[in-house]
Chains A and B, each alone.
Chain A
Amino acid sequence: AQKVTQAQTEISVVEKEDVTLDCVYETRDTTYYLFWYKQPPSGELVFLIRRNSFDEQNEISGRYSWNFQKSTSSFNFTITASQVVDSAVYFCALSEGSYGQNFVFGPGTRLSVLP
Chain B
Amino acid sequence: DSGVTQTPKHLITATGQRVTLRCSPRSGDLSVYWYQQSLDQGLQFLIQYYNGEERAKGNILERFSAQQFPDLHSELNLSSLELGDSALYFCASSVAASAGGNEQFFGPGTRLTVL
| Interface set of A (CB-CB < 8 Å, partner B) | 32-33, 43-47, 50, 52, 91, 93, 95-97, 99-108
Known: A99-B56, A108-B42. A47 touches B100 (CB 8 A): no
- B108 near A101 (CB under 8 angstroms)? no
User: Given A91-B43, A95-B100, A108-B42, do A101 and B88 touch, yes or no (CB 8 Å)?
Assistant: no
Q: List 24 A-B contacts (CB under 8 A).
A: A32-B100, A33-B100, A33-B101, A43-B108, A44-B2, A44-B107, A44-B108, A46-B106, A50-B100, A91-B43, A93-B43, A96-B100, A97-B56, A97-B100, A99-B56, A99-B98, A100-B99, A100-B100, A101-B57, A101-B58, A103-B33, A103-B58, A103-B100, A106-B42
Q: Give Cα A103 to B56, complex, Å.
A: 9
Sorting the interface of chain B by its residue count into under 10, 10 to 19, 20 to 34 or 35 or more gives: 20 to 34
Q: Are A50 and B56 CB-contacts (below 8 A) given A43-B108, A107-B42?
A: no
Q: A44-B2, A44-B108, A100-B99 are in contact. Are A105 and B43 (CB under 8 A)?
A: yes
Cβ-Cβ contact count across A and B, 8 Å cutoff: 66
Residues of B within 8 A of A104 (CB): 45
B16 CB → nearest A CB, Å: 27
